[in-house]
Amino acid sequence: MRRLFPALWALLFALPAMASDYRSVVGPAAILYDAPSQMAKKLYLIRAQTPVEVVVRLEGWFKVRDAEGTLAWIEAAQLAERRTVMVIAARGELRQADRDDAPVVASLDKWLVVDYLAPAAPGWIRVRHRDGATGFVRSTQVWGT
């Protein structure tokens, strides 16, 4: 028991440091299933570039969570390591700098997908819109970080 206690403490403090594994869908669309098999029930289609969080890995399959919290299985080949984020706020704001008082470069509609570029100041991330505009968005306005 004395040896187990320090190991449990180390694990407890290591858990928050474990990063989430976000990926994006490749191809025009991908099918999500209720089990890791093409013979399983097809649940729905997911668009290209949509971010998902990988929660389980199984030979050739990933169990993923989408922006609405739905869990489903997808073939591993249908995901890229490329990071994207999806706007979940009613209206997101792309700003010139990672500050609330920075000028707004563009308004981002709900469900819009943008490229994740890098973390920024606490609570902010740097992104690129499909038209090429880059800027900063509050991490609370997007899903996939």
Distance CA 8, CA 86 (A): 36
Return mean pLDDT, the chain.
89
Given this model, what pLDDT does residue 19 score?
Answer: 63
For the ranges 13-22, 62-71, 114-123, the lowest mean pLDDT is seen at: 13-22
Share of the chain above pLDDT 90, in %: 83
Q: What is the pLDDT of residues 108-144, one digit of tens each?
A: 999 999 999 999 999 999 999 999 999 999 999 999 9
Given this model, what pLDDT does residue 1 score?
Answer: 52
**Tally of CB atoms within 10 A around 71:** 15
Q: Given pLDDT bands bounded at 50, 70 and 90, which one contains residue 14?
A: very low
Q: Could you tell me the CA-to-CA distances from 91 to 37, 73, 112, 113 in Å, in that order?
A: 37, 30, 10, 13
Given this model, what pLDDT does residue 124 score?
Answer: 98
Cβ within 8 Å of residue 141, ≥6 positions away:
87, 88, 89, 92, 93, 108
**pLDDT tops 90 at residue 38:** yes
**pLDDT tops 60 at residue 96:** yes
Given this model, what pLDDT does residue 5 score?
Answer: 46
What would the mean pLDDT of 101-105 be, rounded to a whole number? 97
